[in-house]
Each structure stands twice: as structure tokens, then as C-alpha cells.
Amino acid sequence: MVELRPVVTEDLDAFYAQMSDPVSNELAAVPSRDRNSFDAHWAQIMVNPDTTLATIVASGKVAGHLVCFGKPGPRDVGYWIDRAYWGRGYASEALRLFLEQLPDRPLKATVAAHNPASMRVLEKNGFTVVGEPVVEDDGVTVVRFELAA
């Protein structure tokens, strides 16, 4: 169904297009970046030794990416799926494969409260809700998840 591989510079054009989609940005509650800011951000991510990255490939095409970041301790997991691949189980399968590569536990994830599909992806992979929804400084209500040991 999907496979994971290391992120390469050539993936960034697809990631930029995916992360510039206004529908995806609204659902994820993540503002888009201009290309220069995007490239600078990814240049830092790709060389950070505390970050684990993977490209999601479906039918031979870049369908999204996964990231695990933070210092040892509860690290954060995130993912982005091209809208063309929504609703097919790609995110759930990709996250399952990614978690197999991550020995760290616990892991954390944060999802916009208006994104039930992303919450379901986490729940399918063993994450559970921690606490009550929280309104962040930017006004977005988020739900926090954890994957215990």
C-alpha cells in the first residue's frame, strides 16, 4: 500500500506543494510558509540529529512525510499527507511503519480538535488522548495524544 524511505532534497517540491494546500492547512491548523521560509525550515530539519524523517511513497509518488522531533524524552510525532491520498488508509499505514522504526516511548502528538481524521490515525496506532482539549495562543483548540511504552 505505502512504503517509507529517507527524505531526499528532491522530495521538497512535493512537500511544499502539499503543505501549501489551503484545505490541508485549514484542517491541520498550520499556516503555510513562503518558499524561502519553507526551504530554510526544511534545511534545519534535515540536518538536526534529534529529528527522524521519512517520505511516504504511494504508487511510486511522494504522498507525504512523517517526522519525529525533540530531545530524548517524550518526543513529538507528526505527519502530512497529500490531500489526493486522504481517506485511503495511507496515513494510518505510514504511521504504523514509522513507529516500528522509533524505539522511543513515550511519544506525543498534537492535533487540531477540528481534525477527527487525524485523531483517528493516531488512535489506530495506539495513541490515547491526554487531558482535555487546550486552546493554544493562536486560538486553535488542540487535542494532545501520547503513545506509552
**pLDDT for res 64:** 97
Q: Is 76 helix (H, G, I), strand (E, B) or coil?
A: strand
Question: Residue ranges per domain, the chain?
Answer: 3-147
Cell of 117: 481524521
Kindly report, residue by residue over 12-23, the tens digit of the pLDDT.
999 999 999 999
pTM for the model? 0.94
Superfamily of segment(s) 3-147: Gcn5-related N-acetyltransferase (GNAT) (3.40.630.30)
**pLDDT for res 1:** 86
Q: What is the DSSP letter of 2?
A: -
60: which residues sit within 8 A by CB, 6+ positions away?
none
> Which stretches of the chain drop beneath a pLDDT of 70?
none
**pLDDT for res 71:** 81
